[in-house]
A and B are shown apart, each in its own frame.
Chain A
């Protein structure tokens, strides 16, 4: 009996599925991957870390990452072809950022994502972004400062800007696929561009000056219809998009003072509720937004010590935000006709039976539907001072 158990234990060792013994210095650690469509073929660009350049001890001052590129009929094939040029096999387990080229996005991204979700070496917690007006390879070909691995820079910038500016949207692969497959919600992805002189981007000199010649920057939201790119939302629209889908954690936004001038609202709590309903056979959504914020900056003549002013400011802000959000919804409805807000899902949740009926012609229903936006703003603090010192400057 004992022997039998022992044999079973030993045998069970050989039952394991995915395993692969590779020493750390046999890995081509790939932190960023770019996929482009070039003449009906996929072009895969891998940004591979050069470990010895990362450690301060052995660094010789060369680039901390290197690019390998190959084309193939499928993504997997292209990726494997990289072994022709790379001394180490690509190891994508720690992939942080996946950049999709705009050309590919226009043709549809779904096919290229299957491999990434299927292969066991990928963890699906990397961010997916779209190169705006350029190829993914061009984006990956830029050196960066502070984070000397560009992939980490892209990852961290997206994370922090999503958390405290809220114009970008950090989608991981799973979320993207969920949006692509959902009937009542279309996908968006954050755009990424290279500003400045692109040709200088890949050289070491790029990061040696205080102002690098080329920088990587997040810009705009790519609007998808099914899996095809149909257009871009501006940064401002992008923030309003995030407000509608309740993706705002923390941001600052300029608001108008009662008379003239500007003030800044720092949003510390943000909650947006979307509720679908059927009104006389027509789909409708109510968007209720609750904002708690501080007065972060005052550039106009107002008396903050007076509660009335605060109430007035709140009213103004509510009105302004409602209008802005409505205009964004309208733009999307009219211009892109793509339900990126998930209105369909809201209807589906509230009226599942009706949803089944209108699901088929949702593309026609969406541009016509009404969205009621209600914003409720509460100002909590005014910072460390009461009224602005601007009042005390004589002659103003």
Chain B
């Protein structure tokens, strides 16, 4: 405990340093009237970084007005800088008497903003804080000598990955597009799916140094306002230097940070986000990552693939049941195998017992050690496969398959049955449509194996009870994690273990205190039928 306390103390300490640093740079927070002075401050603050371009020009009829244009190379669209800023200032307004337009109400800066600049988004600025955040986000800054004011001209543009196919969550049928790293592109992808004025977006800047844009998205009128308030509160509480991925946010806002189970859902598919919004959930989009967070997240949600809703309901239901089955296998198969082969031999049919015993002849380790060896080997192979450059992958899979599959059995270190059990477990753990739950299962599996090795099926049962108690105690943003199973909710069963056809799904899942849970009016006419009268016949 004291360790943690010490750590948190030091954290506070480092934070205070960074704040004081900030204070130093912005000690002269207000812009100066003198252009040279301003430019000097910018240069000093940015450490003369080479990607900051400072261009000093003279504008006006007499070319008497000194102006400075500052932008970050690589983040700014140089075409529009050329055509709409430099050209305007240096050529187009040359003949204009700028000074004549200046009035007590409008100084030169406002005049330029209102009459000259042919770009879309433009803002006045008065202090360095705004200046830096704009400059470093890719905006162009225009400063004019003699004014303690400037303009932020938005012409950001940088090289980025386009909208490509989602790779983490694959579907056979359904939209292919996945989110990209750009927040605006991502919000646009969602907006394109839901053209409802009630689709609201709240933006925040999180991270003292990274200044990452974070957007909260929800459909007003469906979402529970209390949940929105809670998400807002948790996001506002974040006090950290940098947010590089939505995972950082997830860790800072989740309900049960020590639980192996995820209480925040993440996806890189716009259609999943759109569906979640329609159910009354809240999406948190983070700039710089294609992974969008969705809250509240329920246990059963991790078994639902977006494809379930695009396929026929009957096959979708069967496949969903299969996923629950695969989850059980992934969690318990090795443990069950260990328990039965070391404690409950009586449960095996005689022929199987003899066959398993024959395979185990000469295996030097107990079944538990054998299973651990295989599981750890598999995890190493899997991790290597993920991290390794793609073109070495095939070499590794050959070695992996050969080492695990054949050599270990032939050398008599591992029994063939154990290879089968570990393989089916590994394959089952990848059936889950979301990666997060697969991770929890992988961790818990080892615990169950240990319980099985020391207490047999009794151990597994106790473990399952403890697991169930834990799951039932979890909440995600106020909603019980195991709902609609515990607490049981009959209408929600339409989309839990099975999925009913669309014409039977009348309500949204009832997350606590949603405002509007009617999806479509409950009526018999929802079910499609061919017309009964004969007039269409032969058409």
Mark A residues whose CB is within 8 Å of B: 5-6, 9-10, 12-13, 16, 19-25, 27, 29, 31, 49, 51-52, 54-55, 58, 91, 93-94, 96, 121, 123, 149, 152
Is the beta-carbon distance between A19 and B357 smaller than 8 angstroms? no
State whether the Cβ of B24 lies closer than 8 Å to any Cβ in chain A. no
The 10 closest A-B pairs by CB, nearest first: A55-B358, A51-B358, A51-B357, A93-B346, A25-B360, A94-B350, A24-B357, A52-B361, A24-B360, A16-B458
Is the beta-carbon distance between B353 and A55 smaller than 8 angstroms? no
State whether the Cβ of B429 lies closer than 8 Å to any Cβ in chain A. no
Interface centre among B341, B357, B361, B363 (most CB of A within 10 A): B357
Is the beta-carbon distance between B358 and A52 smaller than 8 angstroms? yes
Contact of A23 among B342, B353, B459 (CB under 8 A): B342
Cα distance, A27 to B345, chains bound together (Å): 9
Given contacts A58-B358, A93-B345, contact A13 B458 (CB under 8 A): yes
- Which residues of B are found within 8 Å of A94, using beta-carbon distances? 345-346, 348, 350, 353
Q: Which of B320-350 contact A (CB under 8 A)?
A: 341-343, 345-346, 348, 350
Is the beta-carbon distance between A21 and B343 smaller than 8 angstroms? yes
Contacts A10-B462, A51-B357 supplied; 12 other A-B pairs, CB < 8 Å:
A16-B455, A19-B456, A19-B458, A20-B343, A21-B342, A21-B456, A23-B341, A24-B341, A24-B367, A29-B354, A31-B350, A54-B354
Given contacts A24-B341, A24-B353, A29-B353, contact A54 B346 (CB under 8 A): no
Given contacts A25-B363, A94-B346, A94-B350, contact A54 B462 (CB under 8 A): no
Give B416's nearest chain A residue, CB to CB.
Answer: A57
Cα distance, A22 to B339, chains bound together (Å): 10
Cα distance, A94 to B346, chains bound together (Å): 7
Cα distance, A41 to B366, chains bound together (Å): 38
Cα distance, A16 to B342, chains bound together (Å): 16
Contact of B459 among A5, A13, A49, A58 (CB under 8 A): A13
Cα distance, A96 to B356, chains bound together (Å): 18
- Which residues of B are found within 8 Å of A49, using beta-carbon distances? 354, 357
A sample of 18 inter-chain contacts (CB < 8 A) reads A6-B466, A10-B462, A13-B455, A19-B455, A21-B456, A22-B342, A23-B366, A24-B341, A24-B342, A24-B357, A25-B360, A31-B350, A51-B354, A51-B361, A52-B362, A54-B354, A93-B345, A94-B350
- Which residues of B are found within 8 Å of A12, using beta-carbon distances? 462
Give B410's nearest chain A residue, CB to CB.
Answer: A57
- Which residues of A are found within 8 Å of B363, using beta-carbon distances? 25
State whether the Cβ of B355 lies closer than 8 Å to any Cβ in chain A. yes
Is the beta-carbon distance between B356 and A24 smaller than 8 angstroms? yes
Cα distance, A332 to B341, chains bound together (Å): 49
Is the beta-carbon distance between B462 and A29 smaller than 8 angstroms? no
Closest-CB distance, A323 to chain B (whole angstroms): 43
How many chain B residues sit at the interface, stated as a range, is 20 to 34
State whether the Cβ of B469 lies closer than 8 Å to any Cβ in chain A. yes
- Which residues of A are found within 8 Å of B466, using beta-carbon distances? 6, 9
Cα distance, A5 to B360, chains bound together (Å): 39
Is the beta-carbon distance between A5 and B358 smaller than 8 angstroms? no
Give B463's nearest chain A residue, CB to CB.
Answer: A9
State whether the Cβ of B53 lies closer than 8 Å to any Cβ in chain A. no
State whether the Cβ of B465 lies closer than 8 Å to any Cβ in chain A. yes
State whether the Cβ of B359 lies closer than 8 Å to any Cβ in chain A. yes
Is the beta-carbon distance between B357 and A25 smaller than 8 angstroms? yes
Closest-CB distance, B127 to chain A (whole angstroms): 52
Closest-CB distance, B89 to chain A (whole angstroms): 69
Q: Could you mark each residue 486-516 of chain B with 1 if its beta carbon is under 8 Å from any beta carbon of chain A, else 0?
A: 0000000000000000000000000000000
Q: Which of B452-493 contact A (CB under 8 A)?
A: 455-456, 458-459, 462, 465-466, 469
- Which residues of A are found within 8 Å of B367, using beta-carbon distances? 23-24
Closest-CB distance, A94 to chain B (whole angstroms): 4
Cα distance, A272 to B353, chains bound together (Å): 39
Closest-CB distance, B267 to chain A (whole angstroms): 33
Closest-CB distance, B399 to chain A (whole angstroms): 24
Cα distance, A276 to B456, chains bound together (Å): 51
Closest-CB distance, B507 to chain A (whole angstroms): 34
Give A12's nearest chain B residue, CB to CB.
Answer: B462
- Which residues of A are found within 8 Å of B458, using beta-carbon distances? 13, 16, 19
Is the beta-carbon distance between B357 and A29 smaller than 8 angstroms? yes
Closest-CB distance, B345 to chain A (whole angstroms): 6
Is the beta-carbon distance between B345 and A25 smaller than 8 angstroms? no
Cα distance, A152 to B353, chains bound together (Å): 13
Cα distance, A31 to B353, chains bound together (Å): 11
Give A53's nearest chain B residue, CB to CB.
Answer: B358
Interface centre among B359, B363, B367 (most CB of A within 10 A): B359
Cα distance, A23 to B343, chains bound together (Å): 8
Closest-CB distance, B433 to chain A (whole angstroms): 32
Cα distance, A13 to B458, chains bound together (Å): 7
Give A149's nearest chain B residue, CB to CB.
Answer: B354
Cα distance, A5 to B473, chains bound together (Å): 13
- Which residues of A are found within 8 Å of B341, using beta-carbon distances? 23-24
Closest-CB distance, B464 to chain A (whole angstroms): 11
Closest-CB distance, A120 to chain B (whole angstroms): 9
Cα distance, A158 to B314, chains bound together (Å): 47
Cα distance, A330 to B216, chains bound together (Å): 95
Interface centre among A19, A31, A91, A96 (most CB of B within 10 A): A19
- Which residues of A are found within 8 Å of B354, using beta-carbon distances? 29, 49, 51, 54, 149
Give A152's nearest chain B residue, CB to CB.
Answer: B350
- Which residues of B are found within 8 Å of A58, using beta-carbon distances? 358, 361
Cα distance, A6 to B467, chains bound together (Å): 11
Closest-CB distance, B297 to chain A (whole angstroms): 23
Cα distance, A16 to B345, chains bound together (Å): 17
Closest-CB distance, A52 to chain B (whole angstroms): 4
- Which residues of B are found within 8 Å of A9, using beta-carbon distances? 462, 465-466
Q: Which of B353-386 contact A (CB under 8 A)?
A: 353-363, 366-367
- Which residues of A are found within 8 Å of B356, using beta-carbon distances? 24
Cα distance, A10 to B359, chains bound together (Å): 34
Give A49's nearest chain B residue, CB to CB.
Answer: B354
- Which residues of B are found within 8 Å of A54, using beta-carbon distances? 354-355, 358
Cα distance, A95 to B115, chains bound together (Å): 100
Cα distance, A58 to B29, chains bound together (Å): 84
- Which residues of B are found within 8 Å of A93, using beta-carbon distances? 345-346
Cα distance, A51 to B362, chains bound together (Å): 11
Interface centre among B346, B348, B354, B363 (most CB of A within 10 A): B354
Closest-CB distance, B408 to chain A (whole angstroms): 15
- Which residues of A are found within 8 Å of B346, using beta-carbon distances? 93-94, 121, 123
Closest-CB distance, B504 to chain A (whole angstroms): 40
Closest-CB distance, B471 to chain A (whole angstroms): 14
Closest-CB distance, A292 to chain B (whole angstroms): 34
- Which residues of B are found within 8 Å of A5, using beta-carbon distances? 469
Give A96's nearest chain B residue, CB to CB.
Answer: B350
